Amino acid sequence: MKILLIEDNAELSLWLTQLLREQGFVVDPVADGEAAELLLREHAYDVVLLDLNLPGALSGKGVLRRLRDRADAVPVMVLTASASLDQKVQCLEIGADDYLVKPVEIRELVARIQALVRRQVPGKANVMLCGDLAYDLRTRQFALKGQDLALPPRERSLLEALMLKSGKAVSKPALLAGIFALDEEASADAVDLYVHRLRRKLEGSQAALITLRGVGYLLKVREEDS
């Protein structure tokens, strides 16, 4: 699950980035509105954490307005030191999905992030299924045939990205961007490697990881042999 953190306080940004990465999120931190705008146009994120008081010409509210003006529905949580009711209402009217006052407690922040993602899931269920493969949005853990499926972080992020797309194909560049932050070195062969490993772990299950040549990868229920 990939997060864009827009926060100009370097110490707070570093702290949040480290804590969220420890929780298994892929995080891209950025310090101003203009840089955030570029990333939002070029990359896909599952959630945006947005500070309002940003340096430069583009404020946090400006970033949010531009997002919604171009019909980008990425969930946005405002993180701000202001507890003003008027500001909270204005942000929600502009298009924010949630509003959290600093200082934040990491458990609450993670719970709210997961709630935002759950709202994007058909039926808003806590558990997503692909045959006998289950993904719990509350714990961000997989289970296969009722047993916990332990996965290294990169493999979990890739399988998570495919599961959250609900049977839609995901391109290799999108998967690569989803499992590596911008400040991490990504190998061009990484997706192929992790897909190979996941296929081995899903052997004998009802979940199939399909390659669509020229399109990308698709997680779907395995078709029974006729």
**Domains in the chain, number:** 2
88 and 153 fall within a common domain = no
7 and 98 fall within a common domain = yes
pLDDT, tens only, 143-202: 999 999 999 999 999 999 999 887 789 999 999 999 999 998 888 789 999 999 999 999
φ, ψ (nearest 5 deg) of residue 112: -70, -35
- Is 112 within 8 Å of 137 (Cβ atoms)? no
SS3 147: strand
pLDDT at position 9, please?
A: 94
38 and 114 fall within a common domain = yes
- Is 73 within 8 Å of 45 (Cβ atoms)? no
The answer on pLDDT for 225 being more than 60 is no
18 and 98 fall within a common domain = yes
**142 CA to centre of own chain:** 16
Rounded Cα gap, residues 204 and 123, in angstroms: 28
Which amino acid does the sequence have at 17?
A: T
pLDDT, tens only, 17-69: 999 999 989 999 999 999 999 999 999 999 999 999 999 899 999 999 999 99
The answer on pLDDT for 125 being more than 80 is no
SS3 221: strand
pLDDT at position 187, please?
A: 82
* Percent above pLDDT 90 for the chain: 77
127 and 78 fall within a common domain = no
56 and 23 fall within a common domain = yes
Q: Residue 91: which CATH number?
A: 3.40.50.2300
Residues whose CB falls within 8 Å of the CB of residue 192, separated by 6 or more in sequence, listed in order: none
**Average confidence (pLDDT) over 7-20:** 95
Q: What is Dmax (Cα atoms) for the chain?
A: 63
Domain boundary among 58, 93, 119: 119
Q: Residue 46's closest CA among 66, 60, 62, 25?
A: 25
152 and 106 fall within a common domain = no
98 and 137 fall within a common domain = no
Domain boundary among 98, 119, 140: 119
Range of the domain at 95: 2-119
**Is 226 among the domain residues?**
no
The answer on pLDDT for 100 being more than 70 is yes
**Is 198 among the domain residues?**
yes
Q: Residue 75's closest CA among 40, 30, 126?
A: 40
> Dihedral sign, CA of 2, 165, 205, 136?
positive
**Average confidence (pLDDT) over 120-131:** 83
**Average confidence (pLDDT) over 60-84:** 94
In sequence order, the β-bridge partners of residue 156 are none
**Average confidence (pLDDT) over 125-147:** 92
pLDDT at position 226, please?
A: 36
pLDDT at position 218, please?
A: 94
Domain boundary among 119, 148, 173: 119
169 and 66 fall within a common domain = no
